[in-house]
């Protein structure tokens, strides 16, 4: 099925929160059925490369009959090995121009930014979307920078030249305020991963987003 770059509800899978590979697979199945529009497999040093490869393969299979794309964080080799739909990189990963050369023109490329300086130096011609954050304090990313807050997010959203997704500490309590900034979507980790009722957690978020968009 043809994939769509829809950032509305972008689920970032954390193996520690989701319960390993099987937990990520199960979470993805339920979340996609209930409104998640994009999936990212985020790298963790605790898992070996072959485990990431197996996890990526399993996720690609689940998403094969859906319009939901699969992004691989950082690991271009795994993205190429399983023919993922895209790659997401951070400021300390491979440069965007090098990543683009490796993945070609047919895959989507996302780039994380956390301040105005990084936004101003973003190579817009090379990327398809940006991730802005962290918006609120978060414990799911160990090397996260200081939280931006809604006011700073609003300013960055006004200057973006590509679609953008907000990430960092976003949950059902604050998602409405985030969407009201004009952002294209929100990236969610702990507000879905590890929840006892994945379906309800996903529906709660997507319903609040739709009330604004």
- Asked if 22 is an active-site residue, the reply is no
11 neighbors 184 (Cβ within 8 angstroms): no
Residues 6+ positions from 165 with CB-CB distance below 8 Å: 7, 10, 110, 129, 130, 131, 132, 183, 184, 185, 186, 187
Catalytic residue, chosen from 100, 141, 160, 208, is 141
192 neighbors 198 (Cβ within 8 angstroms): yes
- Asked if 83 is an active-site residue, the reply is no
38-to-13, 46, 63, 86 alpha-carbon distances in Å:
11, 24, 10, 10
166 neighbors 187 (Cβ within 8 angstroms): yes
CA distance 122 to 138: 24
Residue 151: Cβ-neighbour burial (10 angstroms; 0-12, 13-18, 19+)? exposed
Catalytic residue, chosen from 100, 107, 112, 208, is 112
Catalytic residue, chosen from 42, 107, 195, 208, is 42
Q: Which of 11, 111, 123, 136 is nearest to 62 (CA)?
A: 11
- Asked if 42 is an active-site residue, the reply is yes
- Return the active site residues: 42, 112, 141
């Amino acid at each position: 099925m043809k994939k769509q770059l829809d950032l509305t509800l972008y689920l970032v899978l954390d193996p520690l929160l989701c319960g390993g590979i099987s937990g990520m697979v199960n979470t993805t199945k339920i979340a996609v059925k209930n409104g998640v529009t994009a999936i990212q497999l985020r790298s963790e040093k605790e898992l070996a490369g072959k485990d990431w490869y197996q996890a990526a393969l399993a996720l690609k299979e689940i998403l094969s009959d859906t319009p939901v794309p699969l992004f691989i964080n950082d690991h271009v080799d795994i993205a190429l090995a399983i023919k993922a739909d895209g790659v997401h990189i951070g400021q300390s990963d491979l440069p965007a121009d090098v990543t683009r050369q490796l993945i070609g023109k047919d895959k989507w490329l996302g780039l994380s930014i956390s301040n105005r300086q990084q936004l101003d130096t973003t190579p817009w011609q090379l990327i398809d979307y940006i991730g802005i954050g962290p918006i609120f304090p978060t414990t799911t990313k160990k090397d996260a920078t200081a939280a931006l807050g809604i006011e700073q997010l609003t300013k960055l959203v006004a200057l973006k030249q590509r679609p953008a997704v907000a990430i960092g500490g976003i949950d059902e309590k604050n998602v409405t305020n985030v969407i009201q900034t004009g952002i294209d979507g929100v990236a969610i980790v702990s507000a879905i991963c590890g929840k006892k009722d994945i379906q309800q957690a996903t529906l709660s978020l997507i319903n609040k987003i739709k009330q604004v968009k």
